Structure 1
Amino acid sequence: MDWLRDHAWETWLGLTIVLGVLEMLSLDFVLLMLAAGAAVGMVAALLGAPLILQVLLAAGAAAASLVLVRPSVVKRMHSGPELKTGHAKLVGERGVVLNEITSTHGGLIKLSGEEWTARPYDESLVIGVGEAVEVLEIRGATAFVHPVPRLES
């Protein structure tokens, strides 16, 4: 027990390093929080705190970081931007009408550098050549579009 008291900070440092290395293998952020608690225990040992206080401070810091820090870190690491692929990424994009678009006779639009068959989303509309349109839906190989309002000046 005397050896542990004389070398407490080195023991806490070794525990911090071992837990940090094991965290790199697990990537679950639990061992990292325990390593943070061990680091607090090391600081307490360096400041000359008794062993029981070192253990209590290390356990308290580890528990606090598990409860307060880990959930937000895990949420941030496991979430990312929503990935849209295929036709879904074209919804919301804007294009230009190449041929007049009516509900009875679909036209063509230039969309993301490609020509697409298009129909008006609102069947009562007629969309003229050169108008800017926004894609509201893709069904099969047909884009359902709506004209983008223009500000008249």
Structure 2
Amino acid sequence: MDVVSQYAWIVWIVLILIFITVEMLTLEFTFLMIAIGSLGGLLSGLLGAPWWLQIVIAAALAVILLLFIRPPLLRVLKRGADPARSNVDALLGLEGQAVSVVTSIGGQVRLANGETWTARSAAITERRDIEPGERVLVTAIDGATAVVVPAERN
């Protein structure tokens, strides 16, 4: 056991480097907190703590950081996130106009963003076709097909 105590600092440094590397790949702060816990284990070992106490200190520090520091840190970082929707989420609720007759099987619509999509009427639509020129509202995206309903008339 003397060998373990004598070379524990090398193990701690290797663990810290591994955790930092994984953190750079994931960017979730989980492995950063574990790396800081490992740093606590390294420091306690340099101060003369036995190997089992180093492990306990590293684990306790990592758990405390994961439970009490990581959540507020994530909230602060996501506070300034871009609220704009993108991709398929940006299409939901978008209005458009039927280019060809839209049935429950198919059709085409031109959306307000200028894109032309294949479309079909939603199941909630009363069983009628949506005529060309009629305004529609996108309720869902099913693969490459926009699921639409007639838009309310103003």
TM-score by length of 2: 0.51
Query: Could you say which residue in structure 2 is the equivalent of 1:67?
Result: 67
CA RMSD of aligned residues (A): 1.9
- Structure 1 distance, partners of 2:82, 2:27, is 23
Deviations 1:27-70 (A, max 9, x none): 11100000010000000110110111101100110000001110
Q: How many equivalent residue pairs?
A: 85
Q: Specify the alignment match of 2:29 in structure 1.
A: 29
Q: What's the CA shift for 1:83?
A: 5.4
- Determine the C-alpha separation between the residues in 2 that align with 1:83 and 1:26: 22
Work out which of the two has the higher radius of gyration on C-alpha atoms and give 1 or 2.
1
Structure 1 50/79 Cα, relative in aligned 2: closer, same or farther at 3 Å?
A: same
Separation (CA, whole Å) in 2 of partners of 1:81 and 1:18: 29
CA distance in 2, matches of 1:70, 1:59: 15
Alignment of 1:28-47 (within 5 A): 28-47=28-47
User: Sequence identity, in percent?
Assistant: 36
Separation in 2 of the partners of 1:3 and 1:38? Answer: 19
TM-score after normalising by structure 1: 0.51
Hey, what's the Cα distance between the residues in 2 that align with 1:19 and 1:30? 9
Deviating runs (4+, > 4 A) in structure 1? Answer: 81-84
**Distance (whole Å) between structure 2 residues aligned to residue 23 and residue 82 of structure 1:** 23
Cα deviation, residue 10, structure 1? 1.7
Q: Which residue of 2 aligns with 1:76?
A: 76
Query: 1:49 and 1:82, CA in 2 relative to 1: closer, same or farther beyond 3 A?
Result: same
Q: Who is 1:55 aligned against?
A: 55
Partner of 2:15: 15
Supply the AA of the counterpart residue of 1:51.
W
Deviation of the 1:9 alpha carbon: 1.3
- In the alignment, the residues of structure 2 paired with residue 6 and residue 56 of structure 1 have an alpha-carbon distance, to the nearest angstrom, of 18
For structure 1, the 5+ residue unaligned runs are 85-153
Q: CA–CA distance in 2 between the matches of 1:34 and 1:74?
A: 16
